Structure 1
């Protein structure tokens, strides 16, 4: 398959690169080292047009993932901001109002299996009252609203819009590995009263109603992982050309060349899977299995890329303030966020078992490969 960009998509990529070189690159040290992304950063990207490119309804997904890859190459933390926004915007659908939402779904004992969440929503007169504790809520301090998943009295699940200014909300930052600019928080809802109109969506225990939104999040995280891998490759090439040992650049040594080759092959293969999923989405076809393949492959290739990059840099790669060290720490979250690699493999295997070979006329193994 081909994922060559058309002229419009190339122009969007160039616009992203221009924004990065003129604005974002000056803030990278603060975002990636000091761990601060501000409301001013959000406003700046909105004014640049990047916000609309990633979140706009008129932008093709081929363009969206291209822009996210470029952002991730310079600032993985900044690119990661969009994962939650893409997920929550999809759930809101035509109710999306352009504000900043943070998803509050996961709990201490409820990760991939959301059916065991303990947060409750009770109807009292004309209001809902939320009680519970959510973990790993991204960018809580930047959000205008939380999107909260809670159990309702009839033993089903509903998603609510909750203003971050509502009474009874307490937030506590959770320290983590990598993506320093992406803040994670524990958010406690202590009998938070919200109007009945805050109910966004009800879902059953299978949570299949979230498959589309989860698929979009996988594309976003795949883009993030590929951007990290490409940044690791660029850093590795600089090091391989400049670092000399035993009288030669280390890039002359076959051991280093093999690492460069492995990273390059992996990035190209990951791009193929990601753009395949994006193309299917742009054609309004089912894309969730392809998104799972893109996520599991791209995130694990990124793991290989950052590991090789640290090895190529040697002891210098172990320093906390080195770029490859930051990439190494940030990549690890991509294999967990947006459902783990293990969950992606379950999704892929289930599709293959249920579909491949069931219809003898089926071609290409049931997938667009």
Structure 2
């Protein structure tokens, strides 16, 4: 963890170390959406303007050759949600079982923010291939995040919380989705995806096991994006159709320019050039564990509460500002901690403690005796 004393050289025992937070102002509160493509000039049909001051690109990360020219984006009348349908073909570099569709690559999401010629990218990490007959949440929910600090002083934070689940047959999509989100109230994105499940959008595949169709239901508000993506595939040549789905919440924060902390300037040197951050990075990645019952047994994941984690992580990293500063050129991490020393309290003498206990016991016996009379 960021405040772990393992990251501190010669920590003082008993001292509390807290990474210093810095007040920040948000520089951009509305994004334009770019789906799948990172080149607006090539695929303008995948661009959804929103009067934004920055562009947020959402793209899947999987071994699929997407037919971008055949992709269709539909922006709904309520203006804050879009539907993206993309046909594609899986790569054949996987195992024979994967090539035949009996195992499929788990979905992952990449998010990229472009603001004033500054680019920041992060994504959810991928896991082992999933079996075609898997049901429900098959991969531990995960939150990944990164923070990009630019020479201009702007700080961009991106956080993604993702829940992956599998549907072995189309008719089970509604029930499995309801069990994943633990709610009898339909999720708007799940309801929209149900239409693509039942109207043939996702089932319109050839008998080829490498053929796939993906649908992304996206709802955006300001700098937050909710996304449900499901991909269909066949288990064997002409086999049954199944779905792999991922529900992700992407939260982004762009803060106004901040000066580098004087302590970090002193450690790095006044004349040292500002390190250029990599375009893509994952600064934090952690898994969400299932809820543990009173008897020690694990139960379902608390999906609804953990979907708020994306905003919490993004806000925390944004509050660190120029602190928790990574010098990518030197491979060094600079963190300024505020400290507090614990003061030892006064000990109660054993005699006084015994007297207090004795008086309390006498009063209790006297009270019980009075009530009996």
**Pairwise TM-score range, normalised by the shorter structure:** under 0.3
- The structure carrying a bigger helix percent of its residues is 1
TM-score by length of 2: 0.25
